[in-house]
Chains A and B, each alone.
Chain A
Amino acid sequence: MSFTTGLKCRECGESYGWKPLHVCEMCFGPLEIGYDYDAIASVLSHRIIESRPRNLWRYKELLPVSGEPRIGLYSGFTPLVKADRLAAALGVEELWVKDDSCNHPTFSYKDRVVSVAISAAIEFGFDTVSCASTGNLANSVSAHAARAGLRCFIFIPDNLERGKVIGSTVYEPTAVAISGNYDDVNRLCTEIADKYGWAFVNINLRPFYTEGAKTYGFEVAEQLGWKLPQHIVVPTAGGTILPKVAQAFEELVRVGLVKDTPWKIYTAQAAGCAPVVNALHRGADLIEPVKPNTIAKSIAIGNPADGYYVLGAVRDSGGWGEAATDQEIVEGIRLLARTEGIFTEPAGGTTVAVTKKLIEQGRIPRNESIVISVTGNGYKTLEAVTDAVPVPFNIGARLEEFDALYQSLEQR
């Protein structure tokens, strides 16, 4: 049974039926999914959710699926790690890390949004799924398409690092590398999406895709014992996850699964690509596009599709945002690794670095609960830290050599 009420425009409120559509024909505003929250509240409880398998579909009443979910049955329900050593390093009392670096199957939060988008694609009867990506998204679409037995096309810039390409091509999609500048490649992808009528997960299926990001917020609340954190810091790229985490918290209150306690949400961007943070600091509503120049490539989106809604969610909650330099991002990655044993990609390093700044600025109080969002895995972006991490000590295969090394280490 579905609890959705169809698609509606987020700007003008125009209603649409149940179809793979993403832009309002009237005002070009984005479409979003509507739900019958009263009906959901009457059937959903902690007990029912907790009795279900530990995957993102345990909140299926609050997701756009009409039958049983078709894919993503092992995605989501990643650990919420109590980060006491990182808390001590940052000088705060209660700190948690929501760790999607171990999300199944491709180690990033994208496995959530892609699970929901491809499940919708199957329901709509598409036989081909697609995306344009520089990394995590293409990995996830390729893997989920392989498991679902769908034809898959991924479009990538032709100058992408080999490691990132293999993370997708191992699943044997049709991978198309496009030459040209970023804007040309971007436009071509939307034209292909228009012309071929495939399920482009983040274009024509965007309303469904973005809903998957709510599960990150649902899980945080459930794992905190069905309560909301007082502060949560979330990275911003295209602007999908932050407004959806905020929406998730609001929905949980609305259907009676958590108490309506105060919370604030904060955006984290790299200083080399901070269009949303710039607008936030300027007090502006309109986001000025930027040309990205940062090591945090998975969040280097110069004109984010949902940036406007990030600003809205941050401001409505009373939160804030900051940007971190590449050096601070690398230090954020290393700090998380050496205190909590979690190796994140630069997006996660950005969130750690920005959280540190917000605490030092007094924006986040030291005695309230804080969640840091880690959305991707560091093993995919080794080049970001290659020059920053210690190198091994070299010795010959003789005990005396190790003894000498050990003594020198002891004397340090």
Chain B
Amino acid sequence: MAIERFYLTYNQDRIKEPIIYLVGQKFRVVTNIRAASVSDHIGIVALELDGEQEEINSAVKWIAGQGVKVEPIEKNVIE
């Protein structure tokens, strides 16, 4: 089992999508929202995913495929 932490960034056209609900339905991961901010332009959610590593990897890939940017909680670490 693993726990990973991510920031999800939703652009304006994806803000209304129930992506976190759906990822919990489609994959065997527990979703835990730890912080969130939404404006007219952008939504940012700090999300914890708990589950088998393979399931987390699949969940992340699916979220990214929905047009939501998925990044580590540290954001860009390549300086």
Contact = CB atoms under 8 A, between A and B. Distances in A.
Interface of A: 11, 22-23, 26-29, 110, 131-134, 136-137, 155, 157, 182-183, 185-187, 189-190, 193, 200, 202-203, 206, 237-238, 282, 284-286, 288-289, 301-305
B77 A190 contact: yes
A134 to B, nearest CB: 6
22 contacts: A11-B35, A27-B46, A28-B46, A28-B73, A133-B78, A133-B79, A134-B78, A137-B79, A182-B78, A186-B78, A187-B72, A190-B72, A202-B77, A206-B74, A238-B76, A286-B41, A286-B44, A289-B69, A289-B71, A303-B69, A303-B76, A305-B76
A288 B42 contact: yes
Contacts of A237: 79
For chain B, what secondary structure do more than half of its interface residues adopt (helix, strand, loop), or is it mixed?
strand
B25 interface: no
Interface residues of B, number: 23
A21 B18 CA distance: 32
Contact of B41 (A282, A301, A302): A282
Contacts of A289: 9, 69, 71
Nearest to B12: A288
Contacts of B37: 285-286
Given A203-B77, A286-B44, A186 B34 contact: no
Contacts of B71: 183, 186-187, 289, 303
B5 interface: yes
Contacts of B11: 288
Given A27-B35, A28-B5, A304 B77 contact: no
Contacts of A305: 74-77
Given A238-B79, A284-B42, 10 more contacts: A131-B79, A134-B79, A155-B78, A183-B64, A189-B77, A202-B77, A203-B74, A203-B77, A286-B41, A303-B75
A289 B75 CA distance: 10
Contacts of B46: 27-28
B26 to A, nearest CB: 20
B64 to A, nearest CB: 8
A131 B76 CA distance: 12
A28 B75 contact: no
Contacts of B75: 303-305
